[in-house]
Chain A
Amino acid sequence: MDDVAEKIIAILRKNMRDPNKEITLDTKLTDLDIESLDLAVIVFDIEDTFGIQIPYNANEEVQDFATVSSVVDRVKAVLAGSHTSNAA
């Protein structure tokens, strides 16, 4: 597991009622009892940690945040995008 994934899992644990649950990349967020309002807090924490902005909309992007790996992928995509735009 890489650095981005480890940081994201640490953020998930910080916002879970039971932080000792096992988390892998395939774990579904719903299995961690993470609900929509929790997710808003988690996305905020991720933005703060990585210094990025994720225009996440709770009304339509549920699939992008279904599993741990989907969150990691989304963050990596934003990170890659922000590096590109910095270079441009």
Chain B
Amino acid sequence: MGLNGKERRVAVTGMGVVSCLGTGVEKFWAAIKAGENGIKPIEGFPLMDLYISIGGEVRDFDPRVHCITKPLLLADRYSQYAGAAALQAVQQSGLETPFKNGERAASIVGSGAGGLATLEKAYEDLFIHKKKATHPLTLLRTIGSSAAAHVSIDHGIRGPVFGTVSACSTAAHAIGLAFQMIRSGAVDIAVAGAGEAAITYGSMRAWQAMRVLSPDGCFPFAKRRNGTVLGEGAGILVLEDLEHARARGATILAELCGFGMTSDAADMVNPDIEGPTRAMQIALADARLSPGDIDYLNAHGTATTANDINETRAIRKVFGPHANRLSVSSTKSMHGHCLGAGGGVEAVVCVQAMREGFVPATIGFDEPGQGCDLDYTPNEGRKREIGYTMSNSFAFGGLNVVFGPAPN
């Protein structure tokens, strides 16, 4: 409840993105609209014996251009991606840096894995090269809270500052918590989302060993899908109390109106239909919407056998007959699975889709996979007037988060 006893509403006033489709919302969205595939052979490090050799690597990122502060230049890539996306979002919001009332602002910026490249380099130095010491910034670069801390330092955010950790639901949890904190009156402004930079040799070996990556590409819901493809980057929103945003004359990009989080409490890798179903239902109830109000759903859609069937069933269960009129897509087909950052990148997609009345495609779609019977917007995006949207993020461990950006 707000200070006057009324529940506060939450506006999105800024967005930032770093991805294999480009750095900055404009470039990213142009690529999404064009149905571009950002998944390519990995070039960032020697592949050696890896037999999975594709990924959605960020290719146009220059820390000297995209990160303005010196501390961030010394950070791990995951923090730099988050910091750069946060900077874009804050600039779009029109808020002055440092924030005038930083005590009333939050930085909730997570990461699924933290500074993996830094840690791998440190261990290589110690165990292979027998160096006497690690790089002195190894610890600060590695910890999973460093992105949140950097964002707070860059913008003078002096209220709640922390990261979330929930694998592929990390950014969605961060955005959802920020939403609740603004709605409850705990803060007026929040910079929220996640950064991820987990395309490293050691991480790729670990993913390869789980046997869930595709050697060919990310083809969500399609018959030919055979696993997911790792992406990287960051997706960050500036959320703000709607009245606060209006009072300063900010451009309101969207309203965030509902949030649901659940857990399957069942299995580390095999998803359950009940958890995602409840998460979507809670988000709808939280937003006081009915299933028929949602026009576009950005699916978790990882292109694994198990997720895509399970998610389809859960969507059918929640949306009933309206499921046939719902536009669904998985933009992971273009930007890869950005893991912890996925929910942030996909939140940007939802807001842009709504603002421009354009449903992005699921590219690489040959024919529907068995049990995949929704309208996944195959191969070509299309114009559609979009009222409310929904974004799904599900994670290892059965952790499900759903939130709903709405038109202003």
Give me the interface of A with B, judged by CB distance under 8 Å: 35-37, 39-40, 43-44, 53, 55-60
**Quick check: B214 and A55 within 8 Å, CB to CB?**
no
Q: Which of B322-360 contact A (CB under 8 A)?
A: none
Q: Which of B209, B227, B306 is the one whose CB lies under 8 Å from A44?
A: B209
Chain B: residues with Cβ within 8 Å of the partner, total of: 18
Q: Which of A37, A44, A56, A58 is the one whose CB lies under 8 Å from B268?
A: A37
Q: Which of B51, B267, B270, B304 is the one whose CB lies under 8 Å from A59?
A: B304
**Quick check: B269 and A59 within 8 Å, CB to CB?**
no
B243 nearest CB across to chain A (Å): 48
Q: Which of A36, A40, A53, A55 is the one whose CB lies under 8 Å from B270?
A: A36
11 A-B pairs within 8 Å (CB atoms) are namely: A36-B270, A37-B269, A40-B209, A43-B211, A57-B212, A59-B226, A59-B304, A59-B305, A60-B226, A60-B227, A60-B305
B210 within 8 A of partner (CB): yes
CA distance A59 to B212 in the complex (A): 6
Using known A-B contacts A35-B270, A36-B270, A37-B269, determine if residue A57 contacts B226 with beta carbons closer than 8 Å: yes
Q: Which of B221-241 contact A (CB under 8 A)?
A: 225-227
B336 nearest CB across to chain A (Å): 16
In the complex, the number of residue pairs spanning A and B with C-beta atoms less than 8 Å apart equals 42
Residues of A contacting B209 in the complex (Cβ-Cβ under 8 angstroms): 40, 44
Closest to A43 in B: B211
> How would residues 289 to 306 of chain B score, 1 for a CB under 8 Å from any chain A CB and 0 otherwise?
000000000000000111
**Quick check: B226 and A36 within 8 Å, CB to CB?**
no
**Quick check: A55 and B51 within 8 Å, CB to CB?**
yes
**Quick check: A57 and B269 within 8 Å, CB to CB?**
no
Closest to B212 in A: A58
**Quick check: A58 and B211 within 8 Å, CB to CB?**
yes
A22 nearest CB across to chain B (Å): 26
B348 nearest CB across to chain A (Å): 28
Residues of A contacting B306 in the complex (Cβ-Cβ under 8 angstroms): 36
Residues of B contacting A35 in the complex (Cβ-Cβ under 8 angstroms): 267, 270
